[in-house]
Structure 1
Amino acid sequence: MLTLIKNGLVYSPDFIGKKDILITSDKIGYILDTIETPAVPATIIDAEGKLVFPGFIDSHIHIIGAGGEEGFHTRTPELRMTDATTAGITTVVGVIGTDGTTRTMEALLAKAYSLENEGISAFIHTGSYQVPVKTLSGKIENDIMLIDKIIGVGEVAIADARSSQPTSRELARIASLAMISGKACGVKGVVNVHVGEGPDRLSLLEEVVSTTNVSITQFHCTHINRTRNLFEAGIEYAKRGGFVDFTTCTDPKSMQKEVKCSKALKEMLEHGVPIEQITFTSDGQISLPVFDDNLKQVGFKVGKPATLYREVKDAILEEQLPIETAIRVITSNPAEILGLNAKGSIKEGKDADVVIVDKETMVIDTVLARGKVMVQGGEAVVKDVFEW
Structure 2
Amino acid sequence: MQTLLKNGLVYQADELTKEDILIEAGKIKAIGKNLAALVPSADVIDVSGKLVTAGLVDVHVHYRDPGLTYKETITTGSAAAARGGYTTVCAMPNVKPVPDTPDKLSNMVLRNKKEGRVNIEQYSSITKELKSEELVDFVAMKKAGAFAFSNDGCGVQTAGTMYLAMQQAAKLKMAIVAHVEDNSLLFGGVMNAGKKADEFGLPGILGVSESSQIARDLLLAQKTGVHYHICHVSTKESVELVRLAKQHGINVTCEVSPHHLLLADADITENDGKFKMNPPLRSKQDQKALIEGLLDGTIDMIATDHAPHSVDEKTGDMLKAAFGITGSETAFALLYTKYVKSGVFKLEQLLKWMSVAPAKLFAIKGKGTLIPGNFADIAVFDLENQVEIKEEDFLSKGTNTPFIGEKVFGMTTLTFVSGVKVYQKEG
TM-score by length of 1: 0.76
1:153 aligned onto 2:153: no
1:11/1:17 contact within 8 Å kept: yes
Residue identity opposite 1:210 in structure 2:
L
Partner of 1:126: 124
1:176, CA displacement in angstroms? 3.0
1:232, CA displacement in angstroms? 3.0
Q: Give SS of 1:83's match.
A: helix
Counterpart-to-counterpart distance in 1, 2:11 and 2:256? 22
Q: Deviations over 1:193-235 (max 9, x none)?
A: 01236435344443454365333x611111212xxxx343223
Partner of 1:104: 99
Pair 248,196 (structure 1): closer, same or farther in 2 beyond 3 Å: farther
Partner of 1:52: 52
Partner of 1:382: none
1:246 aligned onto 2:246: no
Pair 259,3 (structure 1): closer, same or farther in 2 beyond 3 Å: farther
Partner of 1:282: 304
1:131/1:166 contact within 8 Å kept: no
Counterpart-to-counterpart distance in 2, 1:41 and 1:114? 36
1:173 aligned onto 2:164: yes
Q: Give SS of 1:240's match.
A: helix
Counterpart-to-counterpart distance in 2, 1:315 and 1:131? 41
Partner of 1:309: 332
Root mean square deviation, CA, Å: 3.5
Q: Give SS of 2:369's match.
A: coil
Counterpart-to-counterpart distance in 2, 1:339 and 1:283? 20
Pair 194,164 (structure 1): closer, same or farther in 2 beyond 3 Å: closer
1:201 aligned onto 2:201: no
Q: Give SS of 2:224's match.
A: coil
Counterpart-to-counterpart distance in 2, 1:374 and 1:238? 39
Which ranges of structure 1 fall in alignment gaps of 5 or more residues? 69-73, 183-188, 380-388
1:16, CA displacement in angstroms? 3.5
1:220/1:243 contact within 8 Å kept: yes
Counterpart-to-counterpart distance in 2, 1:150 and 1:245? 20
Partner of 1:89: 86
Counterpart-to-counterpart distance in 2, 1:65 and 1:165? 25
- Equivalent positions of 1:319-330 (< 5 A) are 320-330=344-354
- Equivalent positions of 1:129-140 (< 5 A) are 129-132=130-133, 135=136, 139-140=137-138
Pair 175,373 (structure 1): closer, same or farther in 2 beyond 3 Å: same
Counterpart-to-counterpart distance in 1, 2:325 and 2:281? 18
Partner of 2:229: 220
Q: Give SS of 2:167's match.
A: helix
Aligned residues: percent identity?
Answer: 18
Residue identity opposite 1:305 in structure 2:
S
More strand by share: 1
How many residue pairs match? The answer is: 348
Residue identity opposite 2:175 in structure 1:
V
1:354, CA displacement in angstroms? 0.9
Pair 163,257 (structure 1): closer, same or farther in 2 beyond 3 Å: closer
Counterpart-to-counterpart distance in 1, 2:371 and 2:180? 34
Pair 214,346 (structure 1): closer, same or farther in 2 beyond 3 Å: same
Which ranges of structure 2 fall in alignment gaps of 5 or more residues? 186-207, 247-251, 261-272, 385-408
Partner of 2:4: 4
Q: Deviations over 1:118-170 (max 9, x none)?
A: 442111111153354664xxx212322x23x322111356xxxx545121x43
Counterpart-to-counterpart distance in 1, 2:216 and 2:72? 37
Pair 172,349 (structure 1): closer, same or farther in 2 beyond 3 Å: farther
Residue identity opposite 1:177 in structure 2:
Q
